[in-house]
Chain A
Amino acid sequence: MQEARPAVEQQTLSRDFALTGNLDALTPGRDAIMHFVREHCAGEQQEVDIQLALQEALANAILHGCKNDAGKLVHCSVEISPSAIEFIVRDCGEGFDTASAADEAEDGTNLTQHGRGILLIRSLMDEVSYRRNGSELHMKKLRSSG
């Protein structure tokens, strides 16, 4: 008898999460999303990479988009397909200049406290883009990548 393959091998799974826009919600929110994603990661290293990228994305949405305000919400949509795990993190903020924020941290000699999270996200994920003036982050990890 053949062992049943996980459903994701044949179809796409998706789930939406919402967390309040304050730091108290960061760890439980991230852990809830990772609980959904974990078994679909290609390995431990990929899981660690995704968890850190997700942490940075949610932290940026909470701190910069929501101004650490529990009255606001951060939305995270997750889609797991046979080829990739994709996240859309959306906050209600006005957005920001994504290019300059990452450039600030790209050069290690720049010692400001800005943009390092974005740089980590770009380094750890396979595809990253911003929409809605920076208030919506799309990031994708290919399931075949390390």
Chain B
Amino acid sequence: MLKVDIQSAPPVVTLVCSGRIVLGVEAETLRCVATARSERHLLLELSHVSRIDAAGLGVLVELHCWAEQRSATLTIANPSPRAHNLIALTSLNRVLHLCGCDGAADCGSLEWQTMTA
């Protein structure tokens, strides 16, 4: 199961994800919820994501590309240790914008920057 709480403060929207981002309805849910947003800055809060698989990572990549095409931004905030480990294993930390984890920007300052952009 995946639960997505939407916190909108234009031009920023934060999607707080809890549960699993895995192949099937969960990955589809995240894709649909995210691509339905019109805000220019999308923050995916993943601290409560217990599991993620290749399909879930694929959705993160897809949303990253989708945001770039719209001249928008996607930031992955506070990924859980498991999610962060798999993002690193697949080298996606080199392309995805991460904050709130080792070697990444601080989420507080990043959120402030995007909100005042």
Contacts and interface: CB of A to CB of B under 8 A. Distances in A.
Q: Do A and B bind each other?
A: yes
Interface of A: 23, 26-27, 48, 52, 55-56, 59, 105-109, 111, 113, 116-117, 119-120, 123-124
A59 B53 CA distance: 10
B94 A59 contact: no
Given A26-B23, A59-B23, A108 B54 contact: no
Given A26-B23, A59-B54, A116-B90, A111 B61 contact: yes
Kindly state the interface size class of chain B when it binds its partner. 20 to 34
Contact of A106 (B24, B62, B91): B91
- The residue in A48, A52, A108 that gathers the most chain B C-beta atoms within 10 A of its C-beta is A108
Contact of A116 (B51, B58, B64, B93): B58
A48 B82 contact: yes
A108 B91 CA distance: 4
Majority secondary structure of chain A interface residues (helix, strand, loop or mixed)? helix
A120 B92 contact: no
A108 B98 CA distance: 14
Contacts of A124: 89
A85 to B, nearest CB: 19
A116 B54 contact: yes
B90 A108 contact: yes
Interface in B82-117: 82, 86, 89-95
B67 interface: no
A120 B86 CA distance: 8
Given A116-B54, A120-B54, A108 B95 contact: yes
